[in-house]
Structure formats: C-alpha cells, structure tokens
Amino acid sequence: MNYTTQMDAAKKGIITPEMEIVAKKENITAEELRERVARGSVAIPANKMHKAISPEGVGEGLKTKINVNLGISKDCTDYSIEWEKVKMAVDMKAEAIMDLSCYGKTHEFRQKLIDECPAMIGTVPMYDAVGYLDKELADITADEFLEVIEAHAKEGVDFMTIHAGINRRTAQIFKESGGRLTNIVSRGGSLIFAWMEMTGNENPFYEYYDKVLDILAKYDVTISLGDACRPGSTHDSTDASQITELIELGILTKRAWEKNVQVMVEGPGHMTIDEIAANMKLEKRLCHNAPFYVLGPLVTDIAPGYDHITSAIGGAIAAANGADFLCYVTPAEHLRLPNADDVKEGIVAAKIAAHAADMAKGVPGARDIDNKMSDARRRVCWDEMFQYAIEPEKPQRYYNELPPEEKHTCSMCGKMCAARTMNKILAGEKVDVK
C-alpha cells in the first residue's frame, strides 16, 4: 500500500477499496468520489485497524449520515445496557456510533465496538482522559493527553473529536465578549477551558496540533474538529465566541489537509430556524467546504423530553442547506442518560431529518423509496408500506391495534378511504361505502 490515508491516496490518483465501496453505496463513480476526498469535501473515516467496518463517506453530494452517541457514565456503569443500544443502532442502519464513555477503564467496551461493529466509531479522547489516566484534570500533562489520542487510534477508532479551536486567543474572546446565557456547553470544550484556566497553559491539542495530526495520519483517523463554543441556547447562537472559534477551525482544517488527515468540522448546537441556513453556508466558506457535523441544531430551548423533535426540525433544515452529518438527539437530552427506547426515538428522528434533507438537495436515488411508498399507498398494500417505512415495527403495530373491517382500508376511513374509492371508480367498479 503506497499511501498513508484515504486523502493521501486520493491526491495521488489512487482509488482505494474503501472508495469503491462508498461510491457504490452513493450511486456515483469512484473517480468522482476520489476527487472529493482529494480536496477534502468528502471524508471516509476508516481506521486501518478497524477491520469490521463497512466504509461510509461523509460530505459533498453524498447521503446525509447520522451518528448515535452512547457510553458509560459514573451513574450508569452497565456495559451490557450500552451494548444493546449498539445492536439497535446497527440494526437501524446508523452510519456512526460515538463512544462517549467517561468513567472507569473504557478500553474493553471500545475494543468490542471496533472488533464487531460495521459502523464508523468515534470517540472524544478528552472524556476518557480522566478515567484512563486516573488523575485530576489539572494534573494531566500535555503529553498524557496525546497518549490517550494514540491509545484510541491504535485500537481502531475511525474519527475523534478534538477540541483544538478553543485556544488561549478564542478563550479570551469568550471571556471578553460576555453576554452568553449558557457559557460553554461542550463537555470537552469546558474541560479544556478549565484546564487552561487552572494551569495557565495553552490548549495542548492546539499547541501540539502537528503531533496530534501525525498520530492521526499514522492510523488514518479522521479529525472531527470540536466546537467548544457551540451555542447551548438560542440566545447564544452566531455570537462572537462561536464565529471566532469557527475561523480557527478553518485554519486548523487546512493544516490537517496538508498532512493528509481527513477532516470533519463540528457545529451548533441551539439555533433559531432563521439562522440555520446562513450558518451552514458560513461554515462551508470558512472551513473550505469540509464536511459539516452538527448536533441538531435544536430550534427551541423549551422542549425537554421532546428534543429529538426540536433537533429533527433543525437537522432537516441544516442538512438541506449543506450539513453532511447529523448527531442524533434523544428525548432524554438535557435530562439523563438515554435508555434503549430513547435511543430508538432519537435514531428515527435523525433518520427522518437526514432523508428529508437528501430529497431536498437532490441526492441521487434519495426519492426512490418515497415513490415506492406512495405507489404502495395508492394500491393500499400494507405489507409493502411497512417494508418501506424508516422503522417498520411502529406503523405495523399501530395498524394492528385497531384492524379495519375491510383489509384494503384502515380504521380511520374504512370504506370511505380515498385510495379505495379511486381504485374502484377508475377500474369501472361500483363504490360501496356502507
């Protein structure tokens, strides 16, 4: 193999096996895909050590992908529960899983993910640092932070969130600009900010960014440039802190590409509907059309228990205007660790948002399954309708809870079903409604 990363291969004119697989999934030519990977508008996160992966592409002209967050916390240490969520995510065809475990020795669970899971695997090494090193935050050294990154890379993690944009300069702007209602809501970003404040040192991921990139390039890990200053409320969106950090992330994107490290850029957060399109275009401009990975955006702050819906609304708008990768949000957001039912609801909501956006932006083949569903509805063919559904179990259960008197109707309209009426009358049959 005479290349180090997917980007390195693409720049050399080499079409890799991973590119072949992704091109087939996306209904485009391998050469079209190679060109996009070469210029950085598409990333194929696929660590050389992740042998179980089914490669996916994220970025320009491709289907919108979704990510599922899960992992252990101090208040929930049962890995078997998290593994059930993993199986659900894979069964429901989520393209990525992020292990956000932040308590104890997480290696065993992460290694099982990499050994068995076909989805892209992501981590946030900053979360794992405290447990991995068994030290207080202020006592962790820059070298030790890099040690955790290398440990995750060696294990086979495909992409890592690295909060390199919250350096001393952007942190100072955050403090000077003021006016935020929710401060820094990024868990990793807040820890880095606290570490800089307690130690007086520069962000180690920024200060030693070249060393970080060397580690990632060695294993072909995609860097997901974390947005420490993403807005955690609609009040804080598109403010000086968010935009200043975004400018830094654009600079860091080019530096990564110079070392043939693939890049994704992370974005908001909470944001009102009228700001979303402009933010997507701003990221693409400032970050040189790198793939954009967004959490939501959540379009209102007052729906705890229903934030999978606020996120799906924002995610659909974001993806239709250029976002490439949606991080799911569950009904448990802001409240607790999600259970299996929450995870399912979050995945379905994110998939709806992603698919709606793909139709809006004309992704090849995106509309085909909707046309099949519509044709099945015209024919009142329930088995086909369930087959084409994003999640078949719920619609099938709903239908069977109150079965109609006549099979080719539902209990809402019965014999007055519009589809039944039209099918009969156009076939020259008498329409009976009694």
Which CATH number do you get for residue 148? 3.20.20.540
Residues 352 and 382 both lie in one domain: no
Residues 166 and 262 both lie in one domain: yes
- Over residues 428-433, the mean pLDDT reads 93
Q: Which domain holds residue 409?
A: 368-426
Extract the annotated binding site for [4Fe-4S] cluster: 410, 413, 417
Examine the fold and report which residue of 360, 377, 398 is the final residue of a domain before the chain moves on: 360
Extract the annotated binding site: 69, 98, 127, 163, 186-188, 227-230, 266, 270, 293, 334, 410, 413, 417
Q: What is the pLDDT of residues 370-417, one digit of tens each?
A: 999 999 999 999 999 999 999 999 999 999 999 888 888 899 999 999
Structural contact between residues 371 and 341, judged by C-beta atoms closer than 8 angstroms: no
Examine the fold and report which residue of 360, 380, 412 is the final residue of a domain before the chain moves on: 360
Residues 272 and 402 both lie in one domain: no
Q: What is the pLDDT of residues 343-369, one digit of tens each?
A: 999 999 999 999 999 999 999 999 999
Strand bridging mode 58-59 / 42-43: antiparallel
Specify if 11 maps to a domain: no
Q: How confident is the model at residue 105 (pLDDT cuts 50, 70, 90)?
A: low
* Total count of domains within the chain: 2
Which of 321, 322, 228 is closest to 269 using CA atoms? 228
Specify if 8 maps to a domain: no
Q: What is the pLDDT of residues 17-45, one digit of tens each?
A: 999 999 999 999 999 999 999 999 999 99
Specify if 60 maps to a domain: yes
Residues 187 and 304 both lie in one domain: yes
Extract the annotated binding site for substrate: 69, 98, 127, 163, 186-188, 227-230, 266, 293
Extract the annotated binding site for Zn(2+): 270, 334
Residues 106 and 194 both lie in one domain: yes
**Which residues lie below 8 Å from residue 121, measured CB to CB, with a gap of 6+?**
47, 50, 53, 96, 97, 98, 99, 110, 113, 114, 156, 157, 158, 159
